[in-house]
Amino acid sequence: MMNSVTVKQVSIGKFSGQEFTEVPDHVASEEPLEIRLEYGPAGQRTGRSLSVTMRTPGMDTDLVAGFLFTEGIIRTPSDVLGIDTPADNIATARLHPDLPFDMKKLERHFYTSSSCGVCGKTSIDAVKTAVCIRPGERQLRVRAETLYGLPETLRRAQATFDA
């Protein structure tokens, strides 16, 4: 049985010859997750966004704990008081007040990008962008023959990838 969090049913367009039909299909779910930290001594706690990553929803607490460990932020499970994962794709890790932590050591001064546009964002709010096409506006249509011909067109234009 498929997990409804990690797999979603969607409607896709299927071409067979010149005939187009809509059929159901199952796709892996992927969503951004903002990882935030709450750190510092008792009475002087600070909260800050640490990273945004893409993930398959479902095991966010484990993902955040593993991320903190591999980044060298924590060394043992007791370094984390808890990880809150409410809705809205945000997880907040509450570090132990006695854990020495310097956020400046984690600042990265390089440019990152991705085809989906998530990498390099610093918060979920930055990921959420306006939709370019408004409902009711004319939408771009591409003929099936054009789509079928794209692999060959790309091969001719990108000889490096023929090898």
**Is 116 one of the catalytic residues?**
yes
Give the single-character DSSP code of 125.
H
CA distance 53 to 34: 7
Residue 2 and residue 91: Cα distance in Å, rounded? 24
Enter the tokens of residue 53: 């990553």
Q: List residues bridging with 53 in a β-sheet.
A: 33
- Both tokens of residue 48? 């800050």
Going by C-alpha positions, the residue among 87, 119, 118 that lies closest to residue 5 is: 87
Element (H, E) at 49: strand 46-55
Residue 35 near residue 50, CB atoms below 8 Å: yes
Rounded-to-5 percentages of helix, strand, coil across the chain: 25, 30, 45
Identify the active-site residue in 5, 7, 103, 116. Answer: 116
Residues assigned a catalytic role: 116
